[in-house]
Structure 1
Amino acid sequence: MPRKRLSVVVTRRLPEVVETRMKELFDVQLRDDDSPMTPEELVEAVRHCNVLVPTLTDTINAGLLGQAGENLKLIANYGAGVDHIDVGTARQRGILVSNTPDVATEDTADMTMALLLAVTRRIPEGLARMQSGEWSGWAPNAMLGGRIAGRRLGILGMGRIGQAVARRAAAFGMQVHYHNRRRLRPETEEDLGATYWESLDQMIARMDVVSINCPHTPSTFHLMNARRLKLMKEDAVIVNTSRGEVIDENALTRMLRNGELAGAGLDVFEHGNQINPRLRELKNVVLLPHMGSATREGRIEMGEKVLLNIKTFDDGHRPPDQVVPSML
């Protein structure tokens, strides 16, 4: 007699090839549209399914987990970040959590460099001028930006993405510096040509560009607060493709408006899609709608990792990308 298939609920639309493979392997409930599930829909999902496949737009907190049925045994997150999931409570209730690490490394590093160049070379301003028909021709002093070769880049968080950014920046002729919880091995530092700073304050005061590449944890919330932002040079630029909560967005907005910073490139925001309207108005800011990992290849790879985690669990083994509280 064939074994009963796992009941899987997917909270958002995924790439078609991923959804099709899920349908072949499991008893899966897919979304008809790409809107996030309501809190009520999430409660209904966790009450009856074996596996929930959420994304960062879903809040999987203790309250929701408290309403989960006995059948829920795995939360297979579609994405690397799990700060929207109460992993500790899930573990207490015997629910495993998995994620999709390492997929977005190269894509996010590409976007970091794209934002860096967009801000320093004023690309959105030039694009807006062309689209409005205001451009009247080339002029020696028009739309002057800055050369990035020779500038000092300070990377906050030297994990896989930080190191991928370092390699790209070095190819552009930038001088790479970094601050991290743990110093890299000497051979890795040498390979990257990176200078380590134990003091974050000392590093950011000397950088021309600061790139945020650390995760959001209780210890990194507002790590770039008003005091630290004021340590940066007035002609410096800050880029964030990691988590919006790492920067005090209101303080950053004030400094950009007052000319205390030269510019910012942001792909993530402190309050999700609720962006400070004053930030939107600034010409020296480039804002993107969380596109860091948004490549077709990356999204499919993420889906493949979700499938592997669920299939491995279904076969009675530990999901290869299981997340435990001690990792956070």
Structure 2
Amino acid sequence: MAKVLCVLYDDPTDGYPTSYARDDLPVIDRYPGGQTAPTPEAVDFTPGRLLGSVSGELGLRGFLEAAGHTLVVTSDKDGDGSVFDRELVDADVVISQPFWPAYLTAERIAAAGNLKLAITAGIGSDHVDLDAAIAHGVTVAEVTYCNSISVAEHVVMTTLALVRNYLPSHRVVLDGGWNIADCVARSYDLEGMQVGTVAAGRIGLAVLRRLAPFEVGLHYTDRHRLPRAVEEELGLTFHESAQDMVPHCDVVTVNAPLHPETEGLFGDKLIGTMKRGAYLVNTARALIVDRDAVDRALRSGQLAGYAGDVWFPQPAPADHPWRTMPHHGMTPHISGSSLSAQARYAAGTREILECWLAGRPVREEYLIVDGGALAGAGAHAYSVHG
């Protein structure tokens, strides 16, 4: 029997919901490109419920305990003596979300003698030391595509919020004011601007498709160039590197995985080559940008705005400079954890567990590390440096 350790974020401050704003969810059977949505044998939850917090348990307890397995769920993941560290010692499986990552460092993997499977309930497994997972024979899997469109929608929303100065204008209303000049002094139209994405995978391409109707110029850079037919359909301009692309853009959105080639990419040097007054949107990973360089660029006016929902570490400390820097649209890491997305990544997590516990192959597209090497989606997105 397996011990499954699941690390989830805390319940709402006023308690686990007893009712919801909506009664149902649209049914999503397939993603763009044809990949099917998760197909577990069954689910023990109602789609649209809060599944990603501690009491939601990703809907897994009944399934696991009925088969004789042990499920431990906690939000306590950091600091000496955390529940995560105590329970990890004999855990066979670790599950966590990118929004509340259980950082599986090399030291933690070495201390977890039974660990065989690390599941990301969502997408993005950079909180797992992939080199250590390979060295210790740990399989790493994530629910590929489950919340890619959720994140793409968040990118479009925050882009418009920055360019149109939405959040400060909303604050004027909340504060009882009505000074229109205060609201529009930093408000522009997105129409006619040049927008570029660093990486044009599932999220980046979805962003490009959603922005095309806004009559903007579209740019991208990616180590895997898109098919010519897609470039022509959307009118895309390809650039060999981020360094080549960003001087041409009024808005840059980061949709790349975190790996050695992207860590620290947007520092003072690269931001300094962007148009003065450009906007930067990052829903990928915080370490792709230099924290203090972003703060400096907003204060100097080199950047007109910065938005996103990824921080390091997560949760971010109260004194993190991104909480107080000017002209930002930051949120907690929520872009991929809508109730809609949760139904998919909870179902995908169960699908992975069903396969692994029964000794069946896990979907190739869900694999990041398997058999002591990068595999599946991981071989496409990540690079490993031993």
Q: Normalising by the residue count of structure 2, what TM-score does the alignment of the two structures yield?
A: 0.77
Contact 2:247–2:275, Cα closer than 8 Å, also in 1 = yes
Q: Which residue of 1 aligns with 2:137?
A: 94
Contact 1:115–1:265, Cα closer than 8 Å, also in 2 = yes
Unaligned runs of 5+ in 2: 9-53
SS at match of 1:127: helix
Q: Which residue of 1 aligns with 2:110?
A: 66
Which shifted more, 218-227 or 10-19?
Answer: 10-19
Counterparts of 1:37 and 1:277 in 2: how far apart (Å)? 17
Question: What whole-Å deviation, never above 9, does each CA across 1:201-254 have from its counterpart, x for those lacking one?
Answer: 231111110011111101101111211100011121111111111111211111
Q: Which residue, 213, 216, 219 being the options, matches 1:177?
A: 219
Counterparts of 2:186 and 2:128 in 1: how far apart (Å)? 45
Q: Which residue of 2 aligns with 1:129?
A: 172
Question: What whole-Å deviation, never above 9, does each CA across 1:3-31 have from its counterpart, x for those lacking one?
Answer: xx433221222735623444445523233
Question: What whole-Å deviation, never above 9, does each CA across 1:171-191 have from its counterpart, x for those lacking one?
Answer: 222211001112111112123
Counterparts of 1:15 and 1:192 in 2: how far apart (Å)? 40
Counterparts of 1:279 and 1:52 in 2: how far apart (Å)? 30
Aligned pair 1:114/2:110, yes or no?
Answer: no
Which shifted more, 299-308 or 56-65?
Answer: 56-65
Counterparts of 1:141 and 1:193 in 2: how far apart (Å)? 33
SS at match of 1:76: strand
Question: What whole-Å deviation, never above 9, does each CA across 1:108-146 have from its counterpart, x for those lacking one?
Answer: 00000111011111111011111111225x569845511
Counterparts of 1:164 and 1:199 in 2: how far apart (Å)? 20
Contact 1:177–1:195, Cα closer than 8 Å, also in 2 = yes
Contact 1:43–1:67, Cα closer than 8 Å, also in 2 = no
Counterparts of 2:92 and 2:320 in 1: how far apart (Å)? 41
Q: Which residue of 1 aligns with 2:59?
A: 18
Aligned pair 1:164/2:209, yes or no?
Answer: no
Q: What CA RMSD, in Å, does the superposition of the two structures yield over aligned residues?
A: 2.3
Aligned pair 1:247/2:247, yes or no?
Answer: no
Aligned pair 1:79/2:122, yes or no?
Answer: yes
Counterparts of 1:141 and 1:18 in 2: how far apart (Å)? 44
Aligned pair 1:9/2:52, yes or no?
Answer: no
Q: CA 1:76 to 1:270, structure 2 compared with 1: closer, same or farther past 3 Å? A: closer
Contact 2:199–2:220, Cα closer than 8 Å, also in 1 = yes
Contact 1:10–1:28, Cα closer than 8 Å, also in 2 = no
Counterparts of 1:124 and 1:213 in 2: how far apart (Å)? 23
The total of aligned residue pairs comes to 321
SS at match of 2:303: coil
Which shifted more, 209-218 or 183-192?
Answer: 183-192
Share of identical aligned residues, percent? Answer: 25
Q: Which residue of 1 aligns with 2:234?
A: 192
The amino acid that maps onto 2:331 is L
Aligned pair 1:147/2:156, yes or no?
Answer: no
Unaligned runs of 5+ in 1: none
Counterparts of 2:357 and 2:321 in 1: how far apart (Å)? 49
The amino acid that maps onto 2:343 is I
SS at match of 2:243: helix
The amino acid that maps onto 2:77 is P
Counterparts of 2:214 and 2:353 in 1: how far apart (Å)? 41
SS at match of 1:29: strand
SS at match of 2:271: helix
The amino acid that maps onto 1:194 is L
Q: CA 1:206 to 1:8, structure 2 compared with 1: closer, same or farther past 3 Å? A: same
CA drift at 1:169: 0.7
Contact 1:246–1:270, Cα closer than 8 Å, also in 2 = no
Q: CA 1:130 to 1:65, structure 2 compared with 1: closer, same or farther past 3 Å? A: same
Contact 2:169–2:183, Cα closer than 8 Å, also in 1 = no
Q: Which residue of 2 aligns with 1:323?
A: 368
The amino acid that maps onto 1:308 is E
